[in-house]
């Protein structure tokens, strides 16, 4: 999303909102309905999400940051990129762990334990992402606010948008669980149907081998979580990019 402190668009900052075109939505779409409507731009999507009271609050914030504070001076430049990479690395490593092993299921276990272990791990990872990405976003805003008056405006707008979209995010992101559950059941059903059609015995030892139905689900599950992680980090990545724009350090 492009913010415009000072009244004009900051075209040099690539803070695009990915709403319906996000990698997360594209991955989930084949497995069930999503709320993304093709053909709508950022403004149309925001208009559908923002009520009258929220629109008034957002307008007030936009007017309040229209002019930099008189006498304020730029601070030292900082680089948030390393912080973003560290947080992403920690969470990506957590996503890479085996949910079945974490649930105490041994590698040689041939029982189908269902979607439960994956769901439990997914909920835990979403909680970790929410905590770590939220803390990083707060840190990023504080860093940006100290950099220059114009960037302080950007941080203020980012805080307003985070609050504005918090309820929407809290309602939508947990829906990935149901999409993945449908994917799990569909892959398992297709596997069983193939075994019945070909007369081949169902060999649980091959479920997690390359090409196996559970291996396919495991890969899909991780890719969805990584896409969600990138979506959660999008705003912080935008703030980090803003710190690399020399024009925004002008008073």
pLDDT tens digits for 191-233? Answer: 999 999 999 999 998 999 999 999 999 999 999 999 999 999 9
CA-based diameter of the chain, in Å?
80
Q: Which residue has the higher pLDDT, 68 or 88?
A: 88
Q: CA torsion angle for 35, 37, 41, 43 (degrees, to 10)?
A: -50
pLDDT at 14: 34
pLDDT category of residue 13 using cuts at 50, 70 and 90: very low
pLDDT given at position 138: 95
Helical packing angle, 116-147 and 176-198, nearest 10°? 140
Q: Where are the alpha helices (DSSP H) in the chain?
A: 23-28, 42-49, 52-64, 81-96, 99-102, 116-147, 149-172, 176-198, 213-232, 234-242
- pLDDT for 111: 85
178/165: higher pLDDT:
178
Question: What's the whole-number average pLDDT of the chain?
Answer: 80
pLDDT at 70 over 60: no
Cα(232)–Cα(132) distance, rounded to whole angstroms? 10
pLDDT of residue 164: 83
Task: Decide if 250 contacts 147 (C-beta within 8 A).
Answer: no
Contact 187, 217 (CB under 8 A): yes
Q: What is the pLDDT of residue 150?
A: 85
Q: With CA atoms as reference, report the closest residue to 182 among 26, 31, 36, 30.
A: 31
Contact 163, 93 (CB under 8 A): no
Instruction: Give the pLDDT band (50/70/90) at residue 126.
Output: very high
Task: Tell me the mean pLDDT in the region 79-89.
Answer: 93
Residue-level pLDDT at 161? 85
Looking up tokens 């990935």 gives: 176
Domain ranges of the chain: 19-249
Question: Hunting for tokens 């302080």 — which residue is that?
Answer: 152
Q: What is the pTM of this model?
A: 0.79
pLDDT in tens, 96-109: 999 999 999 987 78
How many C-beta atoms lie closer than 10 Å to residue 103's C-beta? 13
């Amino acid at each position: 999303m492009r913010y415009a402190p000072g009244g004009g668009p900051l075209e040099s900052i690539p803070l695009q909102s990915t709403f319906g075109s996000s990698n997360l939505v594209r991955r989930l779409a084949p497995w069930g309905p999503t709320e993304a409507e093709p053909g709508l731009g950022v403004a149309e999507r925001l208009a559908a999400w923002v009520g009258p009271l929220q629109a008034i609050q957002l307008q007030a914030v936009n007017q309040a940051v229209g002019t930099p504070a008189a006498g304020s001076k730029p601070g030292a430049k900082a680089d948030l990129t390393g912080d973003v990479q560290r947080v992403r690395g920690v969470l990506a490593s957590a996503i890479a762990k085996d949910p079945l092993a974490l649930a105490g299921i041994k590698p040689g276990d041939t029982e189908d334990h269902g979607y439960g272990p994956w769901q439990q791990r997914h909920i835990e990872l979403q909680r970790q992402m929410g905590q770590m990405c939220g803390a990083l976003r707060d840190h990023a805003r504080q860093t940006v606010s100290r950099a220059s008056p114009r960037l302080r405006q950007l941080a203020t707008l980012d805080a307003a948008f985070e609050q504005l979209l918090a309820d929407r995010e809290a309602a939508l992101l947990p829906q990935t669980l149901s999409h993945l559950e449908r994917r799990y059941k569909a892959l398992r059903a297709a596997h069983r149907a193939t075994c019945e059609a070909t007369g081949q015995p169902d060999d649980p030892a091959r479920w997690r081998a390359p090409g196996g139905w559970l291996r396919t689900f495991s890969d899909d599950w991780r890719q969805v979580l990584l896409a969600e992680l990138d979506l959660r980090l999008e705003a912080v990545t935008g703030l980090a990019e803003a710190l690399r724009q020399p024009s925004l350090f002008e008073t």
